[in-house]
Chain A
Amino acid sequence: MAQQPTTPGGPLNVIGKRGPNIDAVERVTGRAKYTGDIDIPGMLVARVLRSPHAHARIASIDTSKAEAFRGVRAVITYKDAPKVMIWGNRQYALNNPVRFKGEAVAALAAVDAETAEKALKLIAVQYEPLPFVLDPEEALKPGAPQLFEDGNLEGMPRILNRGNIEQGLKESDKVIERMYHCPTMWSGGMEPRACVAQWEGDKLTLWASTQSPFRVHGSLAAMFGVPDGNVRIIASYVGGGFGTKSAPHTDESLAALLARKARLPVKLQYSREEEILDSNTRFETRIYVRVGVKKDMTINALELKAYINQGAYHTRLGGLGNQATHTYKTVNVRTEQYRVHTNIPNTGPTRGVGDPQEDFAVESALDEIAIEMGWDPMEFKLKNIKRNGDPIARGPAGVEDGRLITQVLDRCIELGAARIDWTRRNAAAGGQPGPKARGIGIALTERGGGGGVGGASVKVNLDGSAMVFYSSTDIGTGSRTTLAMIAAEVLSIPLSMFRTTAGDTEVAPYDGGSQGNRTLQGTGRAVQAAARDALDQILAAAGPMLDNTAPADLEMRDSVIRVKADPSKSVKLADVMQRRGRSAVGLGNTTAPQTGMNVERTTAAHFAEVEVDRETGKVRLLRYIAAHDLGRPINVTVVENQIEGGSIQGLALTQGEEMRFDKRTGGCLTGSFLDLKPPTMMDFDPRLIEAIIVPNEGVTGPYGAKGLGENPCHPGMAAVANAIYNAIGVRLREVPFSRGAVLAGLNAQRPAGSRTA
């Protein structure tokens, strides 16, 4: 890091360093207990019966045989499901009609898995198949099969208007119109969904593999009509989420319903196929773009019309991000979003939500128009990006009523371009002869930092060790480590003295959860406040041991409290705590940061270099530079991991992870790793991805940190598409970039009858 971290209080001791995760030992030894590892005496195993139809009314359902089967303790159908939606999303725990192939129809709990599997076959269901629709644009046409009484369109089209788009296009010197398509894509983590439900009277404890325990908490308290205090959600170790676990889901409701009916604890663990089918995946988008530029290289108009395939139910409503509205200084902008229900599985926010898809459309279209105008796409983008002080919208309406601050996107571009050596890019796309051609592409991105309400507590024990309690989660983002580092920095207690309890809604205050770049900023600010509160208590208790010095005149360094004016007067933290005889419990309940007019965003510039084999259509990544603004890094190791891991996920979207559906049955054709092909170590050489941490300091997050988790996943598709174009002159507007698509593009270029050699 070029920059020496400082705060008004002096140099930082913990923040900004490298270091392993504080819970690494639990993880490398296999001792970390994930939800599926939990075993409670008498616990039953649940299995789910799933719909063989993409859309069907359940005419009758007979569970008597299954109920009578030896070892079965409870069976539930839609008749048992409370008429309370899981998450305001039109979906009950079990539904009639069922609206996608693979939707839960019934569930049962039995003494073991083998019994449960056998008993499932004894549930007799009569379906009345209904017509179904898979395509979002088809679903809006008159006469399309209807999923809900009020139609397939969810709510109103979301329209944002700034300036005058038609006039902007008319006054442009060049306008292009394009469509970019991203299919439904899997986005899950390594741990399939799992939960364990246990009722004691009317108190429910649910261990769940969730990112956002309090969302699940609220959902289940409402579903069962019990007070908030009767529910406890525990998500201690979570094996990855990437958004798929950011909202309450069917499995949690089913486990809780079964456990209540059986009066025994119930574990429900999804298989990989169930996790792919019945989770929350990246939504399909079809984005129609119109962009107009002026000869002076300014973007004069940018319009996006997006059809978003929400699937049967929306885990949460999907939508585009703010690539079109927040990245560039465009005056005339319009975005129009149609969120459409179809008979495919649930979709919702996954890493980046709609940003990767939007980024693909915007960053590709700008690349296209720049090249058509004969401009260098990087110069073009650099000229048009918003910079500090530029107007930017504070709210979702898009009115530019705020002012951009702490922005370093220009530095991201410059540092990234220097690292990849942008000058090596082909001046003319596809100009290299021979069977293999190389190219370089650029894509930018941006996102909000995610603050909002945060809650946490910090407890300093009688021996001077400390705990951080929080109810958002560590899904692999290193939050146990970074949050403990924040507390360690505030208190100046060595990091090694810290333990954390994550994801527990009973012991920690309310918090928004771990999604949308928010844990470090939202929960982080709460931890910072809680640690300060605890410190105040400690200093107050130390005063009487140090000649009644006022707390304001004391400071703690490395677990020793000293009189600022006379450091020779000191007392050890453990002694203060012993004498106090009570733990120091600091509370942090923070509201969204108040920044007035100021708007802080977090940005990145990615650069891809690829080699395309003209004979097989194979695209090989040669180098990938990810230059990010993340404010001040709390832990550089964690930051690099997030950037590299997120970049690979963005790149994986270009290769596969597409969920395909059979047009005749609506069934998912890609229900396994074998079909989805998440990249292994051999697919992307990890050395090809280089993270650049652009020096910066934010104002809204703890110690100047900004959220980071989502952004690295955004620009991959656009950066690679732009690089492929630069290599071979073939423009790919549909993801994934299969060899077939590359070959088809090359064939279309050739005069009929010619062959490559």
Chain B
Amino acid sequence: MRSSITTLSPTTRVKTAAEFLLNGRAVAIDAASPETTLLDFVRARGLTGAKEGCAEGECGACTVVMVVDEGGRTTYRPVNSCLIFLPMVAGHEIHTVESLAAGGRLADVQEAMAAAGGSQCGYCTPGFVMSLFAEQYRPGRTGPCDPRSMAGNLCRCTGYRPIRDAAHSLGPAPDDDFRARLARPAPRLERVEIDGFSRPVTTDECVEILKQDPAATLVAGGTDLCVESNLRHKRWRHLVSVDGIAELRDFTESADVVRIGAALPLTDIGRLWQSAPPVISEWLELFASPLIRNRATLGGNLATASPIGDSAPILLALDASVQIAGSGGRRTMSLASFFTAYRRTALGPGEIITAIEIPTPLPDTIRFYKVAKRRLDDISTVAAAMAIDRDGSGRVRRARFAFGGVAATPVRIGEAEAAAVGQPWNEAAVERVQRIIDRTLTPMSDHRGSRDYRLQVSKSLVEKFWWETRA
């Protein structure tokens, strides 16, 4: 159905079915259903070490590693194989737990997990092993392995202590084939065209595909779409992956703007944004588990326009704008006007987000708050980001109050911002802001939190922000 598309660039047209390397062997991607997950695929091939615990990215029982490029360095990244559609791994190198002891000897991480008693029922274990494996081989790592690398893996049996002990007992990666692999470049993603799935390699190609097939659906990290498929059996006629578009994975920092490619995984944002204040890494950590961060992208998170999406409040507070490309050309709009209604955005048909731009210098004081039952990897009941700049006399020069979970879309409360500007940052200012919140916010009640609770939390977060930032 897309023969017209493959003529875009006839010389690089993919002639054979796409392939990937699975535990060192080339495997053809069978195109029966593009929504087959990598997890189902490897398990059907008898590689049953990776398990299904939830099929929605919440447990890490399905963890495998992929070989990726990290700014010119090759590294292993653990990912949830339940959240990757099979065609998305075309050209990739994937290792499952079966790869580790293939030579007959246990890998260090396996030895360590066994010795520490880090495996009880063992159902979670292959997932932990793969997360920890990637951590042990992380280039440039010094000292013991960081147990936080396994924050995306759930265990119900242990109290996590033995798993943590295993991480702490591990030294440098041994001199083996896995380490040797890191000396060579990671695979470069090429164009893929198979039935029901496209992976263009430039923005123009992508826009062209969308023009030819307006019903096509974009997929970035896949962390949302795969859940739709796995749990609600949603199917798409044509998925277009933006994984291969180099421009969308760019990160640049200039004197007055930070530009983040829309398809850059969150992990890389943290890695590349060196001048970022600590609040940025805190926010990334609260956003999702490391496994999700290795795939999830800002473009994907903003495009779903979830009222409780975690990226919107902080990007709103940072005055971010969104760069958009479409067949009509390119445009930039402020994020504040990007969300139009519940789960609606200003994206026109055939348009894609290419980048998010954040003006610099950033506000003097920024805080991000996420109120959820669990600390990480959870849907917020209320998320808030607040920023203020003060002049020499301590009066507020600029204020930003942005919230998620309190209205149909993520919102900035302009009225409250205006009320704070020009005033001293004190308890009276807090009370003014709180009164405006009471009047203007319209949160919903659901099982995560009642209307009143959300309002009360929103107001106490303003107070907390003041308490933390008062002169």
| Contact of B156 with A678 in the complex, beta carbons under 8 Å | yes
| Contact of B121 with A239 in the complex, beta carbons under 8 Å | yes
Residues of B within 8 A of A678 (CB): 154, 156
For the complex, is B188 an interface residue (Cβ under 8 Å from A)?
no
| Contact of A686 with B161 in the complex, beta carbons under 8 Å | yes
| Contact of B114 with A28 in the complex, beta carbons under 8 Å | yes
In angstroms, Cα B154 to Cα A672, docked, is 13
| Contact of B122 with A476 in the complex, beta carbons under 8 Å | yes
Contacting chain B: which of A31-39, A73-81, A305-313, A527-535? Answer: A31-39
For the complex, is B277 an interface residue (Cβ under 8 Å from A)?
no
Residues of B within 8 A of A684 (CB): 159-160
| Contact of B457 with A689 in the complex, beta carbons under 8 Å | no
Q: Which of B126-163 contact A (CB under 8 A)?
A: 126, 129, 147-148, 150-163
| Contact of A20 with B161 in the complex, beta carbons under 8 Å | no
Please give the distance in Å from B113's CB to the nearest CB on chain A.
5
In angstroms, Cα B48 to Cα A225, docked, is 35
For the complex, is A743 an interface residue (Cβ under 8 Å from B)?
yes
For the complex, is B449 an interface residue (Cβ under 8 Å from A)?
yes
Residues of B within 8 A of A669 (CB): 447
Please give the distance in Å from A106's CB to the nearest CB on chain B.
17
Q: Which of A654-683 contact B (CB under 8 A)?
A: 655-656, 660, 669-670, 672-675, 677-683
Please give the distance in Å from A415's CB to the nearest CB on chain B.
19
Knowing A641-B120, A645-B120, A681-B164 are in contact, say whether A30-B126 is a contact too (CB < 8 A).
yes
For the complex, is A203 an interface residue (Cβ under 8 Å from B)?
no
Knowing A240-B156, A647-B159, A680-B374 are in contact, say whether A30-B114 is a contact too (CB < 8 A).
no
Q: Which of B78-135 contact A (CB under 8 A)?
A: 96-98, 100-101, 106, 110, 113-117, 119-126, 129
In angstroms, Cα B116 to Cα A20, docked, is 7
Interface string of B356-367 (1 = CB under 8 A from A): 000000000000
| Contact of B123 with A190 in the complex, beta carbons under 8 Å | yes
| Contact of A615 with B467 in the complex, beta carbons under 8 Å | yes
Specify which of B126, B457, B460 lies most central, judged by the most chain A CB atoms within 10 Å of its CB: B460
Q: Which of A467-487 contact B (CB under 8 A)?
A: 474-478
Contacting A478 at CB < 8 Å: which of B50, B110, B120, B163? B120
Contacting chain A: which of B205-213, B252-260, B376-384? Answer: B376-384
Contacting A681 at CB < 8 Å: which of B98, B114, B160, B447? B160
In angstroms, Cα B125 to Cα A238, docked, is 13
Contacting chain A: which of B55-63, B241-249, B309-317, B331-339? Answer: B55-63
Contacting B53 at CB < 8 Å: which of A21, A190, A740? A190
| Contact of B156 with A189 in the complex, beta carbons under 8 Å | yes
For the complex, is A166 an interface residue (Cβ under 8 Å from B)?
no
Contacting A477 at CB < 8 Å: which of B33, B55, B110, B120? B120
In angstroms, Cα B120 to Cα A743, docked, is 38
Residues of A within 8 A of B161 (CB): 640, 644, 686-687, 689
For the complex, is B183 an interface residue (Cβ under 8 Å from A)?
no
Q: Which of B420-457 contact A (CB under 8 A)?
A: 427, 447, 449-450, 453, 456-457
Interface string of B16-59 (1 = CB under 8 A from A): 00000000000000000100000000010011111111111011
Q: Which of A3-37 contact B (CB under 8 A)?
A: 20-21, 23-34, 36-37
For the complex, is B233 an interface residue (Cβ under 8 Å from A)?
yes
| Contact of B156 with A681 in the complex, beta carbons under 8 Å | no
For the complex, is A338 an interface residue (Cβ under 8 Å from B)?
no
Q: How large is the interface on B (under 10, 10 to 19, 20 to 34, 35 or more residues)?
A: 35 or more
For the complex, is A242 an interface residue (Cβ under 8 Å from B)?
yes
| Contact of A656 with B374 in the complex, beta carbons under 8 Å | yes
For the complex, is A271 an interface residue (Cβ under 8 Å from B)?
yes
Q: Which of A682-735 contact B (CB under 8 A)?
A: 682-684, 686-687, 689
Residues of B within 8 A of A36 (CB): 48, 51-52
In angstroms, Cα B447 to Cα A647, docked, is 26
Knowing A616-B464, A681-B148 are in contact, say whether A191-B115 is a contact too (CB < 8 A).
no
For the complex, is B231 an interface residue (Cβ under 8 Å from A)?
yes
Give the number of chain A interface residues (Cβ < 8 Å): 76
| Contact of B33 with A29 in the complex, beta carbons under 8 Å | no
For the complex, is A435 an interface residue (Cβ under 8 Å from B)?
yes
Closest-by-CB residue of B relative to A626 is: B159
For the complex, is A114 an interface residue (Cβ under 8 Å from B)?
yes
For the complex, is B407 an interface residue (Cβ under 8 Å from A)?
no
| Contact of B117 with A682 in the complex, beta carbons under 8 Å | no
| Contact of B48 with A37 in the complex, beta carbons under 8 Å | yes
For the complex, is B190 an interface residue (Cβ under 8 Å from A)?
no
Please give the distance in Å from B81's CB to the nearest CB on chain A.
13
Contacting B157 at CB < 8 Å: which of A616, A637, A645, A689? A645
Residues of A within 8 A of B148 (CB): 681-682
| Contact of A272 with B467 in the complex, beta carbons under 8 Å | no
Residues of A within 8 A of B54 (CB): 272, 672-673
Residues of A within 8 A of B101 (CB): 29
For the complex, is A638 an interface residue (Cβ under 8 Å from B)?
yes
| Contact of A686 with B114 in the complex, beta carbons under 8 Å | no
For the complex, is A273 an interface residue (Cβ under 8 Å from B)?
yes
| Contact of B156 with A242 in the complex, beta carbons under 8 Å | yes
Please give the distance in Å from B162's CB to the nearest CB on chain A.
6
| Contact of B125 with A27 in the complex, beta carbons under 8 Å | yes
| Contact of A189 with B121 in the complex, beta carbons under 8 Å | yes
| Contact of A680 with B55 in the complex, beta carbons under 8 Å | no
| Contact of B289 with A680 in the complex, beta carbons under 8 Å | yes
Please give the distance in Å from B110's CB to the nearest CB on chain A.
4
Residues of A within 8 A of B157 (CB): 189-190, 240, 476, 641, 645
| Contact of A476 with B49 in the complex, beta carbons under 8 Å | no
Interface string of A213-256 (1 = CB under 8 A from B): 00000000000000000000000011110100000000000000
Specify which of B54, B61, B97, B110 lies most central, judged by the most chain A CB atoms within 10 Å of its CB: B54
Residues of B within 8 A of A475 (CB): 121
Please give the distance in Å from A676's CB to the nearest CB on chain B.
9
In angstroms, Cα B119 to Cα A477, docked, is 10
| Contact of B123 with A189 in the complex, beta carbons under 8 Å | yes
| Contact of B124 with A190 in the complex, beta carbons under 8 Å | yes
| Contact of A24 with B114 in the complex, beta carbons under 8 Å | yes
Contacting A271 at CB < 8 Å: which of B231, B374, B463? B231
| Contact of B117 with A683 in the complex, beta carbons under 8 Å | no
| Contact of A271 with B59 in the complex, beta carbons under 8 Å | no
Knowing A237-B122, A675-B447 are in contact, say whether A33-B33 is a contact too (CB < 8 A).
no
| Contact of A25 with B48 in the complex, beta carbons under 8 Å | no
For the complex, is A604 an interface residue (Cβ under 8 Å from B)?
no
Residues of B within 8 A of A738 (CB): 373
| Contact of B159 with A648 in the complex, beta carbons under 8 Å | yes
| Contact of A641 with B96 in the complex, beta carbons under 8 Å | no
Specify which of B56, B122, B129, B373 lies most central, judged by the most chain A CB atoms within 10 Å of its CB: B122
| Contact of B159 with A689 in the complex, beta carbons under 8 Å | yes
| Contact of B158 with A641 in the complex, beta carbons under 8 Å | yes
For the complex, is A450 an interface residue (Cβ under 8 Å from B)?
no
In angstroms, Cα B58 to Cα A694, docked, is 37
For the complex, is B272 an interface residue (Cβ under 8 Å from A)?
no
For the complex, is A192 an interface residue (Cβ under 8 Å from B)?
yes
Knowing A616-B464, A682-B148 are in contact, say whether A637-B117 is a contact too (CB < 8 A).
yes
Please give the distance in Å from B263's CB to the nearest CB on chain A.
24
Pairs A–B under 8 Å by Cβ, sample size 29: A21-B117, A25-B114, A29-B98, A29-B106, A190-B51, A190-B123, A190-B157, A191-B121, A271-B55, A273-B231, A637-B117, A641-B157, A645-B158, A645-B159, A655-B373, A655-B374, A660-B447, A672-B54, A673-B154, A674-B379, A679-B374, A680-B151, A680-B375, A681-B150, A681-B155, A681-B163, A684-B160, A686-B160, A743-B453
A-B contacts besides A190-B59, A615-B464, 11 pairs, CB < 8 Å:
A20-B117, A25-B106, A28-B106, A28-B122, A29-B97, A34-B51, A190-B123, A476-B121, A615-B460, A672-B231, A681-B150
A contact set with B: CB distance below 8 Å: 20-21, 23-34, 36-37, 39, 114, 117, 188-192, 237-240, 242, 269, 271-273, 435, 474-478, 615-616, 637-638, 640-641, 643-645, 647-649, 655-656, 660, 669-670, 672-675, 677-684, 686-687, 689, 738-740, 743, 757
Q: Which 8 A-B pairs have the closest CB atoms?
A: A30-B49, A476-B121, A644-B159, A239-B123, A27-B122, A24-B114, A673-B58, A476-B120
